[in-house]
Structure 1
Amino acid sequence: MPPPIATPRARALGFGMKRARQARNLKVRELGRLIDVPPQNISSWESGKRVPKIDELATILGVLRVEPAERARLLNLARYANDPNWLIQSVLDGPTLLTTYIDYERSATSMVDWSPGLVPGMLQTPSYTRAIFAKTTHPASHVEHAVRVRFARRERLTGRNPLQCQILLSEAVLRQNIGGPAVMAEQLRHLLSAMRLRTVSLQIVPNGIGYHPGQYGPFIIFGYADLPSIVYMEHYRGSGYLYDELNVADYRKATKILASLALSEQDSADLIEAVLTELEA
């Protein structure tokens, strides 16, 4: 059986290789000439469709003068690149993990996001993001970096080749008192604005409807034009990427169930408006 194509680690390796090459202002062909490798091989490695051998990767990282910590990270990704799933134990919003997540998001063509507790990062207002981090011990510089990154991610909804997003929110998200009434009101107004974008479909899954698969936690399904889909899960002290077909298929089934339970887009907008009116009363 051939090895799996573009697994989570293989793509993360490719993202890292591409960033290292671009940091040296080298084109694919230029790097190929330096290491005597066909440029199509480098392109395949950077897309995650193929994985370089350890000695090939070591040569590339040496030529690109990659720092020791990043070099060790990329070599480790290569060693386990054929594993179908990737579970990570680490601090949320760590720089490397955040960059990797954004690379997955940036290269996707579609995204399904089930959020039972918080507004998705891409749709958060700066005040809402700061209110979340106010309950953590992150330094101010880290918080402001997270705010800038989340704001910049909005470009994926309106720029070239925009990301098509299906957002499913629990009604509980609308009623969380994050940052107080003024912050929540601003956040809800922003959700209503986002719903007017042609790239965004947003529906609310109401409270009190009994058991459904979304109660196990948040997840995102990234879809790609020419690569297999990947499921991303985030928890308090870690995250994970699922790749194998059975897992992805199960999360797609969960999405269909959640969408069938959700209010229509118009009824969802009406509910957001109603909660907003309560906050502003």
Structure 2
Amino acid sequence: MTKITEQPSLYRHLEKMSVSELTANINKEDKKVALAIEAALPQINQLIEMIVEKLEQGGRLFYLGAGSGGRLSVLDAIELPTTYGIPKGVVNVILAGGVAHLVEAREEEEDNREAGWKALESHDVSKKDLVLGISASGTTPFVLAALQACQSKGITTGCLVSNPESPIAGAADFPVEVITGPEFVSGSTRMKCGTMQKMVFDMISTTCMIRLGRVEDNKMVNVQLINDKITDRAVKMLMERAGLEDYEKAKALLMEKGSVKKALDTLNS
């Protein structure tokens, strides 16, 4: 395979560039990310359809990753229970080094071939679930070995990689290859690859939540009332959708039922 992610930057002598030149060139490279994702939409769509199917049948999604991609998957997963009201544990993250050590950047753990599968086993992973491996290079041992173990046990796998024809794609039932090209700083896959990963995670989780009925019209009707800003937004959402005019009465109903969705169901029953 060709490691495009490790190829030299298209730009030379970065240290001689002005601030305006640096930001313009970084922005020029970032513009390529959305087009790379567009080219991979058929693969992304197939993966999402399978994730939705698994979740509808009571299964779970496991993000499995190391480095920047793994850390970005943590950010995606932790917001879903609050934003969409799904139970904790539906979307999970297996991070090299452990989620508890998120900010420590334990990059050496990506070479641990046993840890990924052991972590999945500790969550009682099964054929009902889908494990999505994340690796810019497509070769990360932590991810590769765990996906291979999953496949040997009939557990459905997917991946998100940025090099073509990688070993990790070969170990995925639903591979997604988004080829973003050489990085602005050679090999720094926290840049375009990281931007791509964040965009694709948003695409996967948001589409899944919509398809699972966690959104109505374009509203987060299952959002959890965790602070004043979100509660105010939810009250106004309830008033709009139910045709209510009294803010305090709408708020009282919302707080009693716990979500816009449940309040609307009560009003419509």
Specify if TM > 0.5: no
Specify the TM-score bucket, using the shorter chain as the normaliser: under 0.3
TM-score, length-scaled by structure 2: 0.25
